[in-house]
Amino acid sequence: MYTKIDGKEVSAAVRGQIARQVQELKEKGVEPGLAVIIVGNDPASRVYVNNKKKACEQTGINSFEYAMPEDTTTEELISLIEKLNKDDKVSGILCQLPVPKQIDEKKVLNSIDPKKDVDAFHPVNSGKVMIGDYSFAPCTPAGMIEMLKYYNIPIEGKHCVVIGRSNIVGKPMAMLMLKNNATVTVCHSKTANLKEITKQADILVAAVGKPKFVTADMVKDGAVVLDVGMDRDENGKLCGDVDFADVCEKTSFITPVPGGVGPMTITMLLKNTLLAAENNG
């Protein structure tokens, strides 16, 4: 028997708490606001941005959308960000990724004031995560930690195996797990004997970007499996990096896709926006 981790339930609980804190802050005269920048016409990005704006509305956070054309230059985007850095109504700034290929993503992320960098993608904030002394936690990894805590799943002393080494998920997840006293192994596309390593995981995090990549033979009995994937299967149906039907019976806890890690990412973005407003307001 396994427990399906309900990301919507955890999200609702955390968002309720955020909404109350937003109200308290407004009573002190501080209005949290999130600037959301979207460049171009990527349909997936449009859905994410709409969801982020809706989540802001639900919790009483102001949101300001800046939609820029596909042919925007790096300089134009940075000039908008510099304006938002100085705008007191804007507590947090988020530039939805990916940006069109003519834009220098690194330069853009580096131009966001670290105090308003609610995604925690700026090198200053990545560095703070690395030394375990940060205010903004990276949203997707922080969302996973929040889920583990909600379900009273112990982290300390456990072996956590992360598949994927991206700057957005894999690497910061390893850091947050270390901060919580797990023993961490990071695997990636060049890892030899991947299955031998994943089979040792008490907590297995799949952040690969390949549909149904993790199968039952890669999972230890009773493991906790967290699936960051947002993929399409052979029939075009939304699925994760974990073959849920194959793996679930071996696990003690597992996140579904959709309805698992996804909702938590946006919830942590709201939490960071609230934090930015408290700190900057």
Task: Tell me the catalytic residues.
Answer: 52, 96, 119
**Per-residue contact flags (x/-) with ligand GUN for residues 114 to 133, judged by CB under 6 A:** -----x--------------
55 touches ligand GUN (CB under 6 A): no
Binds ligand GUN (CB under 6 A): choice among 63, 91, 126, 265: 265
What part of residues 134-193 is at the interface with ligand GUN (CB under 6 A)?
A: 139
Taking the least distance from each CB to ligand GUN, the nearer of 119 and 202 is 119
Taking the least distance from each CB to ligand GUN, the nearer of 16 and 98 is 98
Conformational region of residue 236, where left means phi above 0, alpha means psi within -120 to 50, and beta covers everything else: left
- Per the CB < 8 A criterion, the answer to whether 95 and 81 are in contact is yes
Taking the least distance from each CB to ligand GUN, the nearer of 60 and 141 is 141
Question: Minimal distance in Å, beta carbon 183 to ligand GUN?
Answer: 26
Sign of CA dihedral 205, 208, 209, 215: negative
**What is 50-111 written as a DSSP string?**
HHHHHHHHHHT-EEEEEEE-TT--HHHHHHHHHHHHH-TT-SEEEE-SPPPTTS-HHHHHHH
Kindly report the backbone phi and psi dihedral angles of residue 89, in degrees, each rounded to the nearest multiple of 5, phi listed first.
-75, -15
96 touches ligand GUN (CB under 6 A): yes
Shortest Cβ contact with ligand GUN: which residue? 97
Q: Which residues bind ligand GUN (CB under 6 A)?
A: 94-97, 119, 139, 265
